Amino acid sequence: MSRAGASSPFRDGFAALRHEPALLAAELTWRWCFGVSMLALAIFSTGVFLDSVKVSRLDQLLLGTFQPQLLAAALRHIFRGSLARFLLEQALLTLGVTLLWSFASAVGRAATLRRIVAMFSSDEDPEPPAWHFGSIFLLHLLRAMWTQVAFAIAVFLLLYGSTMAELERPFVAALALSFGVGFVSFAGFSLNWYLGVAPLFTIRDGVGAKEALEKVIEFASRQGARLFLLGLGFFVMRLMWAAMMGALFLALINLTGVIGNRWIALMMGLVMLLYFVGADTLVLARWGAYVSLTEEDSHPALEPKPEMPPPALAPIEVIPLEGLA
């Protein structure tokens, strides 16, 4: 794709989608396939767990009373001794979803990035970039694992801080709830961003996972301000899109009693799908902006040389007419 003249990475990201509409179809395919697979795994694991739980007639009677104390007693009796089995099933489900996400994202991101990198390449006849599936899979696996670790630490700090607050230890509670959760969130977001952008350099420069992370750090140090503005711009657009779709989603509730509930549920589902399409479009446009910025960073425009002042002319010697006689 031509990038002649002054170029804006933000504008180039959306221009890439207009230039190659199949990119959005590929992005939606791998994301939605993963979403459907994850939903199917969650439903299957929940069904297996509930099928193993035994409910007696007394438990059914207590559940039918809808009294909080009787409901709590019935649930304790129903799930007694099944906590270990439930945790084991959730651990296996988390492992399966993590591996599935790493595989799906590695295939999908490699496919879209190869095309976007080729579009923005400055070579006249660029060769198709290699897949580097192993390195991208490793990066996404590390990203998923780190996200889970950061989330678990943040939840632990929240529970610990709440417990310290109940024990009237305000300093420890404030330290855990403010500094601890804030630092973990910042570290988790930062490393998640680096691991998420690293596949771009794996595809573009043909390097491994470690070298790609080093290149991301160097790239962010050079283009930190522009990356921040790009992220802020796409974040604001994402919020605006979510607000619009959320307002439309809630507006459908007012149609209760006017049309059938099934039609309302169908329209709500369509609104949710429309939101996901818009969100995935913004994600893909942001990748196009990153690729454009990396290309600009590696091939900076040559600054025009300052014009040199013309050389000073030597003064003309005036020869008196008497000397010519």
Ordered per-residue pLDDT tens for the chain, 325 residues: 545 445 688 899 899 888 888 889 989 999 999 989 888 888 888 887 777 777 777 777 777 777 777 777 777 777 776 767 778 888 888 888 899 999 999 999 998 998 898 888 766 655 666 778 889 999 999 999 999 999 999 999 998 888 888 888 888 888 888 888 889 989 989 999 999 999 999 998 888 899 999 999 999 999 999 999 999 999 999 999 999 999 999 898 888 778 888 888 899 999 999 999 999 999 999 999 999 999 888 876 544 444 555 555 445 454 554 544 4
Return the pLDDT at 194. Answer: 94
Q: Could you give the CA distance from residue 209 to residue 215 in angstroms, rounded to a whole number?
A: 10
Q: Which residues contact 19 (CB under 8 A, 6 or more apart)?
A: 1, 119
Distance, CA of 176 to CA of 173 (rounded, Å): 5
Rg of the Cα trace of the chain?
30
Distance CA 148, CA 159 (A): 17
End-to-end Cα spacing for the chain: 75
In this structure, the number of other CB atoms found within 10 A of the CB of residue 198 comes to 28
Per-residue pLDDT, 124: 60
Q: Report how far residue 146's alpha carbon sits from residue 100's, in angstroms, rounded to the nearest whole number.
A: 16
DSSP character at residue 253 = G
Distance, in Å, from the CA atom of 296 to the CA atom of 219, rounded to the nearest integer, reads 11
Q: Within 13 A of 186's CA, how many CA atoms are on the CB side?
A: 6
CA distance 230 to 157: 32
At 21 the pLDDT is: 86
| 72/62 Cα distance (integer angstroms) | 9
Q: Rounded to the nearest 5°, which phi and psi values hold at 208?
A: -80, -175
Q: How many residues does the chain have?
A: 325
What distance in Å separates the CA atoms of residue 78 and residue 164, rounded to the nearest whole number? Answer: 32
Q: What is the DSSP letter of 254?
A: G
Which residues, including other chains, have CB under 8 Å from residue 262's CB and lie 6 or more apart? Answer: none
- Cα dihedral sign, 59-60-65-66: positive
Ramachandran sector of residue 104 (left: φ over 0; alpha: ψ -120 to 50; beta: rest): alpha
Please state the pTM of the whole predicted model: 0.79
Q: For tokens 């040389």, name the residue.
A: 305
- DSSP-assigned states of every residue in 92-114: HHHHHHHHHHHHHHHHHHHHHHH
* Torsion (CA) 235, 237, 240, 246 in degrees, nearest 10: -80
- Close Cβ partners of 230 (under 8 Å, ≥ 6 residues apart): 9, 10, 286, 289, 290, 293
Contacts 24+ apart (CB under 8 A), 151-155: 151/188, 153/184, 154/181, 154/184, 154/185, 154/188
d(CA 233, CA 238): 9
The whole-number pLDDT of residue 216 equals 93
